Chains A and B, each alone.
Chain A
Amino acid sequence: MSGLHLDGIHKSFGDVDVLHELDLDVPDGTLLTLLGPSGSGKTTLLRIAAGLERPDRGRIGMDDRDVTDVPPARRNVAMVFQGFALFPHMTVAENIGFGLAARKTPRAEIRRRVEEAALLAGCQHLLDRRPGELSGGEQQRAALARGLARRPGVFLLDEPLSNLDAPVRAGMRADLMRLQRRIEGTMLYVTHDQAEALTMGDLVAVLDRGTVQQVGPPEELYRRPSNRLVATFLGTPGMNVLPAVVDGGQLRLGPFRLPLPRGVQPGPRVEVGIRPAAVRIGDPARGEPATVELVEVAGEDAYVHLRAGEIRVVAAVPARARPQAGDQARVAFDPDDVYVFDADTGATLGYPA
Chain B
Amino acid sequence: MSVDAERRGLLAMLAPYLVGVGVLVLLPAVFTVAMAFYEYDLIRPGDFIGLVNFQELARDEVFWIALLNSLGFVAAAVPLRLLGALGLALLLHRRFRGVGAYRTAAYLPTVIPDVAYALLWLWILNPIFGPLNLVLDAVGLPTFGWLAFPNATRAGIVLMSVFTIGEGFLVAMATRQAIPGELYELSAIEGAGPWRVFRTVTLPLMAPVLLLLLLRDTIFSFQVTFVPAVVVTGGGPAPYATTYLPLFIYRNAFEFLRYGYAAAATVIMFLITFVIVEVQVRIIQRWRHALIV
Contact = CB atoms under 8 A, between A and B. Distances in A.
Instruction: Determine if chain A interacts with chain B.
Output: yes
Interface in B160-191: 180, 182-183, 185-191
Contacts of A88: 205, 293
B196 interface: yes
17 contacts: A51-B189, A52-B189, A73-B189, A73-B192, A78-B189, A78-B190, A79-B189, A83-B182, A85-B186, A87-B201, A89-B204, A89-B205, A89-B291, A98-B200, A99-B191, A102-B192, A102-B193
A77 B192 contact: no
A83 B181 CA distance: 11
Interface residues of B, number: 21
A246 to B, nearest CB: 52
Contacts of A72: 185, 188-189
Give the residue among A73, A88, A89 with the most B Cβ atoms within 10 A: A89
Most buried by A among B182, B183, B292: B182
Given A79-B185, A85-B185, A99-B189, 16 more contacts: A71-B188, A73-B189, A73-B190, A77-B189, A79-B186, A83-B180, A85-B182, A87-B200, A87-B201, A88-B205, A89-B293, A98-B190, A99-B192, A102-B191, A132-B293, A146-B190
Nearest to B201: A87
Contacts of A146: 190
B290 interface: yes
A87 B290 CA distance: 12
B190 A52 contact: no
In the A-B complex, the 5 residue pairs with the closest CB atoms: A99-B190, A73-B191, A102-B192, A85-B182, A72-B189
Interface residues of A, number: 25
Contacts of B192: 73, 98-99, 102
A103 interface: yes
A51 B185 CA distance: 10
A349 to B, nearest CB: 44
Contacts of A74: 191
A52 B188 contact: yes
A99 B200 CA distance: 12
Contacts of B196: 102
Contacts of B180: 83, 85
Contacts of A75: 189
A109 to B, nearest CB: 15
Contacts of B190: 73, 78, 98-99, 102, 146, 150
Interface in A51-90: 51-52, 71-75, 77-79, 81, 83, 85, 87-90
Contacts of B201: 87
Nearest to B290: A89
